[in-house]
Structure 1
Amino acid sequence: MAYRDEQLSEEKVFKDPVHRYIHVRDQVIWDLIGTPEFQRLRRIRQLGTCYLTFHGAEHSRFNHSLGVYEIVRRIISNFKDRPNWDEKERLLCLAAALLHDLGHGPFSHSFEKVFKLDHEDFTQAILLGDTKVNEVLSKVDKSFPKQVADVINKTYQNKLVVSLISSQIDADRMDYLQRDAYFTGVSYGHFDMERILRVMRPMEDQVVVKESGMHAVEDYIMSRYQMYWQVYFHPVTRSAEVILSKILHRAKELYDQGYRFKLEPTHFLSFFKGEPTLSEYLGLDESIALYYFQMWMQEDDEILSDLCDRFVNRRLFKYIEFNPNQQMSEWMELYKLFQKAGIHPDYYLVVDSSSDLPYDFYRPGEEGERLPIHLLQPNQELKELSRLSEIVESISGKKRTDHKLYIPQDMLEGMSNRSKTKKRIMEILYG
């Protein structure tokens, strides 16, 4: 029997709080789960700094990746013997679902921004490079690693396969909305996934949903909208992200200046230099990053020491509503006042903006084109979701943006009450 067709002698199951059970029968999938590169995802939190806001949000990208695999497994089991579905694509879909987040670094997006990295590039490198994951995939077929990489990179020729993992109603979103809601303890991310899975149908280029499932899809879209604004863009989480990014910026700046660290930041050196190898990238996870943050609390540099103490001990920045597009003159005055007060504005006066587009339809030629969700009519015609749903139509194409100004309130309060600088800062911030 070919390796791609090998089945385990007994089905393996993972107990899961969201899907109850995650089922594995394929030897290939079981072997991929056991690779060091996949096991590393246990040490990368799914929600980055969100655990400092929602104390239950300690779940990992390992949990999430298994969940996405399980949803895809269930979807394609429903597709069997349906038109437009090729059962030969089954293992490819499962492998791509399992491995789609393989390249995430510690604290994910904050980490990427500071060091100008892209986790998708590292996902591709892990799949195609000298790794155990590549070794397992290559046993299926020499071209299999590239096929999996193409699906995750959204360049695979069969767009139906791609849409299962990356679209506006994909297994990735369906898992993280429910999983993140469960672990943060909120109710916003819940929707009737069972109903959606039952009414999904394979078409030539994408997965579509029977019209009878429209209300379940509406619920899913609104769940996503609520989760972004109530959880993912929570202002306290963003405060932690601001401090995290400033820690990394400060450490890099000190390294560039020739500063002698008490503890040589060995695991960060290649990132400071802008040239991490794949093995160096894989060798840095959140447990190691947090170890350095604790050690850096003892550094002589007051800014790095203070920022690390704030992050480790959750002494976060306070925030106020602040629109940089309308209040730039006030921000410039604050910048000078912070300098005058001896508070480094580059590290302690930070504007953070978050924006989201909850749903959009196809707009040819526009940046970030989105494949819309289509509803399958009883006569087999397809109609774009917002044409039939007034709820979805009301939010389609509407981008919402939120701005916050983050400041160290404790530092400001520690200034002398007779200080004219303090008085002016407070006037600008609080009126």
Structure 2
Amino acid sequence: MAYRDEKLEEEKVFKDPVHRYVHVRDRVIWDLIATPEFQRLRRIKQLGTSYMTFHGAEHSRFNHSLGVYEIVRRIVSNFENRLNWKKEQRLLVLCAALLHDLGHGPYSHSFEKVFGLDHEEFTRKIILGNTGVNHVLRKVSASFPKKVAEVINKTYGDKLIVSIISSQIDADRMDYLQRDAYFTGVSYGHFDMERILRVMRPREDQVVIKESGMHAVEDYIMSRYQMYWQVYFHPVTRSAEVILTKILHRAKALYLSDYTFKLRPEHFISLFDGDITLDDYTRLDENITGFYFQSWLEEEDDILRDLCERFLNRRLFKYVEFNPLLHVKEMVELSKLFYEVGIDPEYYLIDDSSSDLPYDFYRPGEEEERLPIHLQLPNGKLKELSRQSDIVEAISGKKRTDHKLYFPQDILEALPDDSRQKQRIFEILFQ
């Protein structure tokens, strides 16, 4: 029997708090899960610094990746014998689902911002490079790793396959909304996934939804909207991210200025030099970063030491609503005042904004064209969701943005009460 068709003697299952069980019968999937690159995802949290806000949010990219695989397994099972579904694509979409987050680094997006990295590019490199994952995929066929990478990168020719993994209603989102809601303990992310899976239908270039399932999709979109503003963009989580980002910025700045660390940060050197290799990248995880943050508590540099202590012991920055674009003069004055009282505004006065577009219709020529959700009418014709749903129409194309200014209130309060700068700083911040 060809490797791509090989089945395990007995089905393996992972007990899962969201889907109850994750079922594995394909030898390829089982072998991929066992690779070092996939096991590394156990050591990277799904929600970055959200555990500082929601103490249950300790789940990993490993959990989520298995969940996305399980949803896709159920989708393709439902698609069997349906028009437009090609059975030979089954293993490809299962592998892409399992491996879609393979390139995430520690603390994911914060890490990427500081070092100018792209987790999708590292996902591609892991799949195509000299790795355990590539070795498994090549046993299917020489061209199979490239196909898996193309599905994840949204460049694969069969857009139906791509839409199952990446669209405005895909397996990735359906898993993380429910999983993140479960582990944070909130109720916002729950929706009727069973109903959505039952009414999904394969078309030539995307998955569509039977019109009878419209209300379940409305619920899903509103769940996503609520999760972004109540969980993903929570200001306390963002405060922890700000400090994390500044730790990495400070460590890099010290290294580039020839500062002598008490413990040489070997795992970060190629990152600081801007020349990270795939081997260096896959050795990084949150256990490694935590070790260095602990060691930097002993450093001579006051800023690095203070920021690490704040992050590790959850002494986070306070925040106020503040849009620096509307308050340019005040922002300049605040920076000047911070310098005058001996506080470096580069590390202790940070503006941060978050924005989200919960659902969008098709806009040709946009930098990121979002494939809209289509409803399949009883006559077989398609209709874009917002044209049929008043709820979705109300939020379509409306981007919401939120601005915050973060600062160490404890340091400011410790300034002398008769300080002119202190009084003015508090006037601006709390006006």
Deviations 1:318-367 (A, max 9, x none): 00000112111101000000000000000000000000000000011122
Q: In structure 1, what is the Cα distance between the partners aligned to 2:316 and 2:146? A: 43
Q: In structure 1, what is the Cα distance between the partners aligned to 2:33 and 2:426? A: 54
Deviations 1:204-236 (A, max 9, x none): 000000000000000000000000000000000
* Stretches of structure 1 lacking an aligned partner (at least 5 in a row): none
Classify the secondary structure of the residue corresponding to 2:224.
helix
Instruction: Report the TM-score when normalising by structure 1.
Output: 1.00
Q: What is the match of residue 143 of structure 1?
A: 143
Q: In structure 1, what is the Cα distance between the partners aligned to 2:399 and 2:329? A: 26
Q: In structure 2, what is the Cα distance between the partners aligned to 1:296 and 1:161? A: 46
Q: In structure 2, what is the Cα distance between the partners aligned to 1:367 and 1:111? A: 24
Alignment of 1:200-215 (within 5 A): 200-215=200-215
Q: Does 1:291 align with 2:296?
A: no
Alignment of 1:271-350 (within 5 A): 271-350=271-350
Q: CA deviation at 1:430?
A: 1.0
Q: CA deviation at 1:368?
A: 1.2
Q: What is the match of residue 196 of structure 1?
A: 196
Q: What is the match of residue 259 of structure 1?
A: 259
Q: What is the match of residue 78 of structure 1?
A: 78
Classify the secondary structure of the residue corresponding to 2:179.
helix
Q: What is the match of residue 362 of structure 2?
A: 362
Q: What is the match of residue 15 of structure 1?
A: 15
Q: In structure 2, what is the Cα distance between the partners aligned to 1:357 and 1:324? A: 22
Q: In structure 2, what is the Cα distance between the partners aligned to 1:328 and 1:193? A: 46
Q: Does 1:115 align with 2:118?
A: no
Q: In structure 1, what is the Cα distance between the partners aligned to 2:247 and 2:396? A: 37
Deviations 1:182-203 (A, max 9, x none): 0000000000000000000000
One-letter code of the match for 2:11? E
One-letter code of the match for 1:111? F
Instruction: Report the TM-score when normalising by structure 2.
Output: 1.00
Q: In structure 2, what is the Cα distance between the partners aligned to 1:347 and 1:90? A: 49
Q: In structure 2, what is the Cα distance between the partners aligned to 1:221 and 1:297? A: 43
Deviations 1:290-335 (A, max 9, x none): 1100110110000000000000000000000001121111010000
Q: What is the match of residue 24 of structure 2?
A: 24
Q: What is the match of residue 219 of structure 1?
A: 219
Q: What is the match of residue 377 of structure 2?
A: 377
One-letter code of the match for 2:34? G
Deviations 1:107-156 (A, max 9, x none): 00000000000001100000000000000000000000000000000000
Q: In structure 1, what is the Cα distance between the partners aligned to 2:91 and 2:213? A: 27
Q: In structure 2, what is the Cα distance between the partners aligned to 1:3 and 1:402? A: 50
Classify the secondary structure of the residue corresponding to 2:21.
strand
| Identical-pair percentage | 76
Q: In structure 1, what is the Cα distance between the partners aligned to 2:430 and 2:152? A: 47
Q: In structure 2, what is the Cα distance between the partners aligned to 1:113 and 1:255? A: 18
Q: In structure 2, what is the Cα distance between the partners aligned to 1:413 and 1:325? A: 26
* Stretches of structure 2 lacking an aligned partner (at least 5 in a row): none
Q: In structure 2, what is the Cα distance between the partners aligned to 1:379 and 1:429? A: 59
Alignment of 1:36-55 (within 5 A): 36-55=36-55
Aligned length: 431
Classify the secondary structure of the residue corresponding to 1:372.
coil
Q: What is the match of residue 104 of structure 1?
A: 104
Classify the secondary structure of the residue corresponding to 2:237.
helix
Q: In structure 2, what is the Cα distance between the partners aligned to 1:66 and 1:264? A: 36
Q: In structure 2, what is the Cα distance between the partners aligned to 1:429 and 1:155? A: 47
CA-based RMSD: 0.4
Q: CA deviation at 1:410?
A: 0.3
Classify the secondary structure of the residue corresponding to 1:154.
coil
Q: What is the match of residue 234 of structure 1?
A: 234
Q: In structure 2, what is the Cα distance between the partners aligned to 1:275 and 1:59? A: 30
Classify the secondary structure of the residue corresponding to 2:365.
coil
Q: In structure 2, what is the Cα distance between the partners aligned to 1:273 and 1:291? A: 20
One-letter code of the match for 2:258? G
Classify the secondary structure of the residue corresponding to 1:331.
helix
Q: In structure 1, what is the Cα distance between the partners aligned to 2:47 and 2:328? A: 31
Classify the secondary structure of the residue corresponding to 1:297.
helix
Q: In structure 1, what is the Cα distance between the partners aligned to 2:106 and 2:355? A: 22
